[in-house]
Structure 1
Amino acid sequence: MSKFALLFLLIFFGGIFAALFFSSAAAFWLYQLVYLLNPDDRWWAAAIPGLPYSFVASALMLFVMMLNYRSLTSVSPWSRHPSFKWIVILLLLYVVALGYALAPNTHRIFLVNFIKLIVIFFVAYKLINDEKKLDISLWVYCIGSTYVSYLIWGTGRNASGRVEGIGFADGTDGNGVAAVLAPPLVLLLYYFWQGSKKLKLLSVFCGALIANALVLINSRGAFLAVALSAGIFTCFMIFSKWQQKGQRAAAVFVIVVSAAGALYVTDDLFWERMGTLKSFEEDEGRTSGAYRMQFWWATFDMVGDNPFGMGISGYNVLSRTYIPPEFMGDMTSRSVHSSWFQLLSDVGWPGVVVFFFLFVSLASTSRKAKKYVLSQENHNHYFKILAIECGLISYFIAATFIDRIRAEAFWWAILFVMISSNVFYLKFQEARGDMLRTKGRVIGGGSSG
């Protein structure tokens, strides 16, 4: 048995033991690792038992949640976060769309997967209910991404100058993998700044491998995602009025080191591809996202005739009807190549409106969380929340150029923002409310006596 296979089995069964006897949160950490390590598709897969690892991890999450439901709900009730209602409404729109989907079989298959994902989302929110558990979840994400980046480094580019075939259970497309790898870089930026010496070294190691993998993949969307999200975070470090000792110097140091590292790992092929950012309509070959914006605009025509959307893959069914032949090429169907237009085509304008309110509730609650921690003069928590927000921004930017509205990591990015709002703000507000209500009852009882 290979060392990787043995290590995975130790992690898997150790995670089950930890979830049952130490911390229920370990069930979600195990689920994250199974998704990121993707044991069924790795070179060491033949050396491990053919178990349904993802199903076991999911079932374990449900089991430990039910086992500890009362204590978990006392600190992480779903009703306390306003974003959950919008997530439920969005899911219901996908359920309703099954009745008129143009590709009903495809819609049914992906709807079942989406329902499973949302169930896991709800359970994970309850399990990850304090700062330490959140930190471990973020580090599991970063370390799992580092392992995938290590595989990419060992495999290298194919004859087309891209990396394909190395990814996750829900897809191995290079752009999709790059979107998953982008958010950890801004998280590692935060841990490099705020962490201990060991965490700083680990952050540099993980960041270097992930950055190298993104260069090899040559994803323009991921490049924009990392550049903008990391840029936003470092700008806040430099220009924010909430400063810690050495904060601006640390930001400048990070910028210099990142620039030097980028010059070292990038090559001519990477910069040649990034040069095409100036025009997404440039003809690079009809299999690499050519005429992408033409696909986006066609969505408006489709939804004009189908305001409630066409269901999952409905865009593909109608693409030949609505996209001019010169943009179709030899393809019988096309995908929309944008998560936002994918949402529009799946469930129409109602879906876009619901997601807009979901985003507003996310932003509003997270803003209140940052305001609260600043009122406690806890600048560390402020920048941690900001880093998690930038991780969400990073995935959203990358997802703009790929069809990933129902992807696992897309909803992880949302999940981490919601958990941070609960951990750093909502549960303290609830405790304060309970204290005031108790005080009111005491005063009321005293006066009536």
Structure 2
Amino acid sequence: MVSIFIFFSSQIACYILSLAKTPAFSVAGYILIYFLYDSSRWWHANVPELNYSFYISGTILVLAFHHRNSSESVFGDRIILLLIVLGVYYYTINFWAVAPDIHTYDALNFVKLLLVVIASVKLATSRHDLEKLIWAFTLGCAYIGYYILETGRTAYGRVEGVGVVDAPDVNGLAATLVIGAIFSLMLFWFCRGFQRLISIVCGALIVNALVLMNSRGAFLGVLTGAGWFVLQTYRSSFPIAHKKLKILSLVAAGATCLMLVVDQSAIDRFLSIKDEAEITKDKQTGYTRLYFWAAAFEMSKDFPFGAGARSFIVLSPEYISDDINTGSLRNRAAHSTWFQALTETGYPGLIILCLTFATAFIYLFRIKQSALILGSYPWHVLALGLEAAMIGHLTAISFLDRFRGVSLYILILMIVVCYRAGSVDSKIGRK
């Protein structure tokens, strides 16, 4: 009943607040639906079976049209233009996709996601709006942590039967929780009072879920993202009283909390990276994906403009050598967002994707520099937190097929909002 109450109360609140306060609440509602509502939830049968994401997406589009003249056009933004080009190109691939029916379905969902992202940029126009989106994402991840705390691991030592609409498997969901873990760290450093307490609770639930999930890619993502945040905060030239002591205390507290939740199963899973270091054809290990990546590269030579959605899964038996042990199936995923993008969209799509990521990091660098000049520490922390989350998420999805993952494009949305709102504040000298 708690889950059902959280779901309905959050949705009703977001609808009302998007009309009464700021339309950014509709975007927050979209993010919360992504985490809360899924057919895998045990309480799914106890709520009306409606397309809740469709209604909130429609609300976002209507509000974006209503507020079309309230801020600078989104079509002048480089990332938005790159996303438009990517969406149009991905849909065009349908003309030569190896599995046209599958590609049409996935392309429509991808284009709808990009439309919501672009419209959302129009609705979130300030630092406070950005903070609402970050909190919505963090609370959504915390709910997943709470849900996994209830269900626990299976007899096989993994979390199963928990996911979101585009990530039904545990590894894809864990990569999304990496963002939430880093956001919790940022909010703990950034917020005060009750909000800091909430960030601690969220972080504890998320980290505990990641431990139970035993996802090695997610472990690496948290290490790289959180490590980057702590390192850059330590090196920052902003005058903070007792900064070194605070950072050391933060690291010590984080390490202590991790020791409290980590168990032998998680330790063994992470250390298996070293145990499986030998690349072999006879046994399927984590390093078997190197053969998948090589096969994906060979496939790209035959399909330089991409072969469409899930094309590597369809064609992988033709490119993976018969003497490679791939487990019980020969049709395998590329196990990397980069190689997934390469096989599905070819070199043009991969270049567009890389340009999008590069532009996102340039945006964040500019905001950090501007914040430093103006002495605006809140903007600096937000930009650094988004940068660390992007680094951590990209690390995790380098071992997963998440090219069309919702969480990736929500993160890009936040970066665009940060850049646009931060640039406006810089022009008028706000802090």
Contact 2:175 2:393 in 1 (8 A): yes
Specify which of 221, 241, 244 is matched with residue 240 of structure 2: 244
Contact 2:281 2:323 in 1 (8 A): no
User: 2:37 touches 2:44 (CA, 8 Å); kept in 1?
Assistant: no
1:5-404 matched pairs, under 5 angstroms:
5-71=4-70, 74=71, 76-278=72-274, 279=276, 289=286, 291-327=288-324, 328-404=326-402
- Tell me the CA shift for residue 384 of structure 1: 1.7
- Cα distance in 2, alignment partners of residues 93 and 231 from structure 1: 36
Equivalent residue number for residue 422 of structure 2: 424
> Which of structures 1 and 2 has the bigger CA Rg?
1
State the 1:41 CA deviation.
3.5
Q: Identify if the C-alpha distance between structure 1 residues 22 and 380 changes in structure 2 by more than 3 Å, giving closer, same or farther.
A: closer
- Cα deviation, residue 273, structure 1: 1.0
Cα–Cα, structure 1 residues 198 and 21, in superposed 2: closer, same or farther, change >3 Å? closer
SS of 1:179's partner is helix
C-alpha contact 1:164 1:172 (8 A) present in aligned 2: no
Distance 1:285-1:11 versus aligned 2 partners, 3 A rule: farther
Specify the code of the residue in structure 2 equivalent to 1:90.
Answer: L
Return closer, same or farther for 1:146/1:353 CA change in 2, 3 Å cut-off.
Answer: same
Q: State the SS of the aligned residue for 1:291.
A: helix
Given the superposition, is the C-alpha separation of residues 283 and 272 from structure 1 closer, same or farther in structure 2, using an over 3 Å criterion? farther
Q: 1:158 to 1:247 in 2, by over 3 A?
A: same
Cα shift at 1:154: 1.3
- Cα distance in 2 between the residues matched to 1:213 and 1:390: 20
Greater shift in the superposed pair: 411-420 or 219-228: 411-420
The whole-number CA distance in structure 2 between the counterparts of 1:408 and 1:418 is 15
1:287 positional shift: 7.8
When the two chains are superposed, the root-mean-square deviation of aligned CA atoms in Å is 2.0
Change (3 A) 1:285 1:335: farther
In the alignment, the residues of structure 2 paired with residue 284 and residue 223 of structure 1 have an alpha-carbon distance, to the nearest angstrom, of 26
Name the CA shift for 1:426/1:302 in 2 (closer, same or farther; >3 Å): farther
**CA 1:165–1:380 in structure 2 vs 1: closer, same or farther (change >3 Å)?**
same
Does the 8 Å contact 1:280/1:292 carry over to 2?
no
Q: Between 121-130 and 19-28, report the one with greater CA deviation.
A: 19-28
Among the aligned pairs, what percent are the same residue? 30
Aligned counterparts of 2:169 and 2:285: Cα–Cα separation in 1? 11
Structure 2 distance, partners of 1:100, 1:118, is 22
Change (3 A) 1:97 1:154: same
Structure 2 CA distance, aligned partners of 1:201 and 1:104? 50
Aligned residues of 2:178 and 2:218 also touching (Cα < 8 A): yes
Alignment CA distance shift 1:363-1:7 (3 Å)? closer
State the distance in 2 between where 1:293 and 1:67 align.
49
In the TM superposition, what is the alpha-carbon distance from 1:426 to its structure 2 partner?
4.9
**Structure 2 CA distance, aligned partners of 1:281 and 1:135?**
45
Unaligned stretches of 5+ residues in structure 2: none
- The residue type equivalent to 1:248 in the other structure is K
5+ residue gaps, structure 1, are 433-449
What does residue 445 of structure 1 align with? none
Given residue 4 of structure 1, which amino acid in structure 2 is its aligned partner? Answer: S
Is the contact between residue 9 and residue 48 of structure 1 (CA under 8 Å) also seen in structure 2? no
> Which string of whole-angstrom CA distances, capped at 9 and with x for unpartnered residues, describes residues 395-427 of structure 1?
111111110110100111211111111111156
Range with bigger deviation, 15-24 or 414-423: 15-24
Change (3 A) 1:421 1:284: farther
Q: How much has 1:243 moved relative to structure 2?
A: 3.4
Q: Is the CA contact 1:310–1:348 (under 8 Å) kept in the aligned structure 2?
A: yes
Tell whether the 8 Å contact from 2:221 to 2:391 is kept in structure 1 after alignment: yes
Query: Contact 2:181 / 2:203 at 8 angstroms: preserved in 1?
Result: yes
Answer whether contact 1:121 1:411 (CA < 8 A) is retained. Answer: yes
CA separation of 1:349/1:426 partners in 2, compared to 1, >3 Å: closer, same or farther? farther
